[in-house]
Amino acid sequence: MDKIAVLIPCYNESKTIEKVVSDYKKELPDAVIYVYDNNSTDGTDKIAGQAGAIVRYEYQQGKGNVIRRMFRDIDAECYVITDGDDTYPAEAAAEMIERIVERNADMVVGDRLSSTYFTENKRRFHNFGNALVRKSINFFFHTNIQDIMTGYRAFSYQFVKSFSVLSKGFEIETEMSIHAADKNMRVENVIIDYRDRPQGSQSKLNTYSDGFKVLSTIVKLYRTYKPMAFFGGLSFVLGAISAVLFIPIVATYLQIGTVPRFPTLIVSGFIMLAAIQSFFAGMILQTINQKNRQDFEMELHRINDQLKKLRTDR
């Protein structure tokens, strides 16, 4: 078991990976540095190995797939995950690790948005997208994470081994943040100085397609983690539509004693049935969700026992 593991997912980062590995070896001399190559074609893996990293491979394409493999493979008391594009400062890692080890944080977020991100990042619409995602998650999940999409984070053993990775691509950061918020994990923010990619280094993030996937992930996870709020809100909307259709029919009936618009009355009735069904679906799923949360707390006890055993065996 490693005391500190630095995890670097990489796809075609030959221009920057040597510097990234060297920076972390300098700042964290006792850490084990892992580079997981995700089908690079530019020799990223060879350069990383020559720089002193342990190189492993994930052949399913996508950052989420790489992180799933990392979290399965590696046991460490503290994990630092960063990108291989040299946009995050290695000198901030020590403070992030201290928050995990000394303050019992479960996840520490390298917060770009409170410092230099909006001036350094030249990619169109990325600033708007990051702000939108941050505000959406903090509003829906009642949390205070300052940078949802950052790839620079530190984690406890308990977080890593209790996190079920579902995302395949860049939605993984959103999924991590929502998992931490829903499971009452302790999250802290460390402000970092972000620097844009050096010339010749290309981002793999597509602003539009990946942005849509992130927003879709937020909606799906909100439905999963907050079923009563999601289906209760849907029930309210359907009930309001049904009432808008039904009230004029009642008013007409009271005036003339007949119902001239039976199709509208029937549609209104079916919409109200859908609203009732949605409400009770939310109640049932909320009960299941509560049971899952209780099971999760018991799983944390098991993971803590496993951590103690690994420390003893080390």
- Alpha-carbon distance of 148 to 133, in angstroms, equals 7
For residues 156 and 108, is the Cβ–Cβ distance under 8 A? no
Q: Low-confidence residues of the chain, pLDDT below 50? A: none
| pLDDT on residue 120 | 63
| pLDDT on residue 126 | 63
| pLDDT on residue 43 | 93
Q: Counting Cβ atoms within 10 Å, is residue 115 exposed (0-12), middle (13-18) or buried (19+)?
A: middle
Q: How many CB atoms are located within 10 Å of the residue 157 CB?
A: 22
Q: How many CB atoms are located within 10 Å of the residue 26 CB?
A: 10
- Using only C-alpha atoms, the chain has a radius of gyration, in whole angstroms, of 24
| pLDDT on residue 119 | 66
| pLDDT on residue 205 | 66
**Which residues sit opposite 80 in a β-bridge?**
6, 154
Model confidence pLDDT, tens digit, residues 197-213: 676 666 666 666 767 88
For 113, 134, 207, the CA distances from 218, given in Å and listed in that order, are 19, 11, 16
Q: How many CB atoms are located within 10 Å of the residue 221 CB?
A: 23
| pLDDT on residue 84 | 93
What residues contact 90, with CB distance under 8 A and at least 6 apart? 20, 23, 24, 26, 27, 28, 82
- Alpha-carbon distance of 38 to 222, in angstroms, equals 30
Percent residues over pLDDT 90 in the chain: 65
